Chains A and B, each alone.
Chain A
Amino acid sequence: MSMAYALTDSRVMVTRCVRRSLRDPEAFFTALMLPVVLMLLFVYVFGGAFDGSGAYVDYVVPGLIVLCAGFGAGTTAVAVATDMSNGIVDRFRSMPISGSLVLVGHVVASLARNLVATALVIGVGLAVGWRPTAGPAGWVAAAAMIVFFVLALSWLAAAVGLLAGSVEAANSFTFVLMFLPYVSTAFVPAQTLPSWLRGFAEHQPFTPIVETMRGLWMGHTSTGAAVGHEAWIACAWCAGILAVSFAAASWLFRHRTAA
């Protein structure tokens, strides 16, 4: 199958998934409200209790981005699981196209949804007083980090959606992903956690990803260190999650549908 066909087919699949996203008013509304509500909640309700240097909003923006990405990934997992439980994937597979392009459609739509949510977090953050010190290069690097992270997370979501077997099971993925950032340095520095939790928080993937964004925007991480070390770890995590999820999703798609 030629490359041009694969590109056309991907475009058709992406259009389909984007349309589907726009036509699910509840999920769409929630996805747009979440960044706004969480930002206001964290800055004005929890923020007062946070005893750090500078405004809490300066600390919390990367955390809210990963939290919203977690929610977005849940949406993607549910969308994939829904497709798998309908006859439409069989139809695609009985056509002379690569059926797995269905997944490409979901991942690209997921990327688009999450980038909109991220832009919203950034916009609302700036409106309530977030003042990043980064120059253009820092912003570009932060954006690249976000895209890399969301791409890895979207493929992970696609794999989970295929693995789940039911829409309900896929939905529970949302809770896992929305819980993990709380046990990282997304909302509080690691040293405020009890020691048994600190070990987990310091070594789970959300921490280096959040710290990299924080370091790029604010000039230093939550421990005051430079961003370089965290960035490498974050990239390694994203590359690892992406590679494993992509392979798993491809394998699962073949085996789930050929049973």
Chain B
Amino acid sequence: MTYTVTAEGLGKSFGGHAVLEHVDLAVETGSVLALLGPNGAGKTTMVRILATLMRPDAGTATIAGHDLLTDPVGVKRSISLTGQYAAVDEKLTGRENLEMMAQLLRLSRRAARARAGEMLSEFDLADAGDRRAAKYSGGMRRRLDLAISMLAQPRVLFLDEPTTGLDLRSREQMWSTVRRLAGEGVTVLLTTQYLEEADQLADTVAVLDHGRVVAQGTPDELKARLGAEVVRLHFADQAAYERALGGLDPVRTDHRLHTIDVATEGTAGEIFQILGRLQAGGAPADKVSTYRPSLDDVFLSVTGTRTGTRTGTGTNTGAASVVRTEPKEMAR
């Protein structure tokens, strides 16, 4: 297995406040890694460090064979960055933006013009090429931004929240573009706060919370950490719900709907045992349903360990367990 991006022990603090603490990361060549986390988790800081915009306080990283600290120019030659805010010159047209950046990448004026034309059609902007970027929609601006990033045919592409603020259609268009680029062999490191985005695009997901990687694996591996099925237990009233809470190890709860979700392997015996225990404890479940865990549940269970109210100790699946009484608070 070869890795295009490896980071070891990266740390960064701002004014004594640690934003990243000893982060290790490895992105396999040609794969897509999603750095998933809520606002303030340190995602942007991580990308800015890897893109040479910021020096880490601790740790090392190698990108496309270049050491981040000793050979930043080599790193710059191998990467492209599409930041959180579309980095295009709004007063220039799409074509002028591309031509300007192509010239800065050492293309002659004529070659820059030709390449700009290619990129405009490749990123579905041919009709808008001669309009100023200020007049572009959010989706078009991101596409232009991405087109600029792809001018240099980088080996590594950093995408910082590539679809934040986009409507559904533009988001899906962006996803298919990222998939296409990944298919062409570009190694992609993207940050996102959308679980669906990580699920859709990523080969590997690293969950970042309070500056630490709290879980890492393929989306399926992460989901498997919660077991095969999540059992949702409905209780008739508040009293039964509260009595049941004490004896269970939930992945999520809802105190208004009186539901408690428990991760299981999905076997009849296991569910029978849970129901029996509840019955014996004087808090029988009213209704039972099951669903397959989503990345959402994984996210809650791993990030909630520091922010949520924790109950119980350990689970049969090995994943940390957590109670979140307001699942709707999740950043979506």
- Residues of chain A having any CB pair with chain B under 8 Å: 5, 8-9, 12, 15-16, 19-20, 23-24, 86-88, 90-97, 257-259
Contact = CB atoms under 8 A, between A and B. Distances in A.
Given A16-B100, A19-B96, A87-B84, A94 B89 contact: no
Given A16-B92, A19-B92, A94-B76, A86 B87 contact: yes
B127 to A, nearest CB: 21
Contact of A95 (B83, B91, B96, B105): B105
Contacts, number: 66
Given A16-B100, A20-B92, 18 more contacts: A5-B106, A8-B106, A9-B104, A20-B91, A87-B83, A87-B86, A88-B88, A90-B48, A90-B53, A91-B83, A91-B87, A91-B148, A93-B52, A94-B52, A94-B80, A95-B76, A95-B152, A259-B54
What does DSSP make chain A's interface, helix, strand, loop or mixed?
helix
A258 B92 contact: no
B35 interface: no
B55 interface: yes
B222 interface: no
A96 B73 contact: yes
B85 interface: yes
B132 interface: yes
Return the 3 tightest CB-CB contacts between A and B, nearest first: A87-B87, A91-B87, A96-B76
User: In the complex, which of the residues A23, A86, A91, A92 has the most CB atoms of chain B within 10 Å of its own CB atom?
Assistant: A91
A20 B152 CA distance: 24
Contact of A23 (B76, B132, B148): B132
B13 interface: no
B188 interface: no
B79 interface: yes
Interface residues of B, number: 32
Contacts of B96: 19
Nearest to B83: A87
Interface of B: 14, 48, 51-55, 73, 76-77, 79-81, 83-89, 91-92, 96, 100-101, 103-106, 132, 148, 152
A8 B53 contact: no
B103 A12 contact: yes
Contacts of A92: 104
Nearest to A12: B103
Contacts of B101: 91, 95
A225 B148 CA distance: 59
A23 B53 CA distance: 30
A19 B48 CA distance: 29
A93 B89 CA distance: 15
Contacts of A94: 51-53, 76, 79-81
Contact of A88 (B14, B55, B87): B87
Nearest to B81: A94
Contacts of B14: 259
B54 A24 contact: no
Contacts of B76: 94-96
A43 to B, nearest CB: 35
A8 B49 CA distance: 28
Contact of B87 (A19, A90, A257): A90
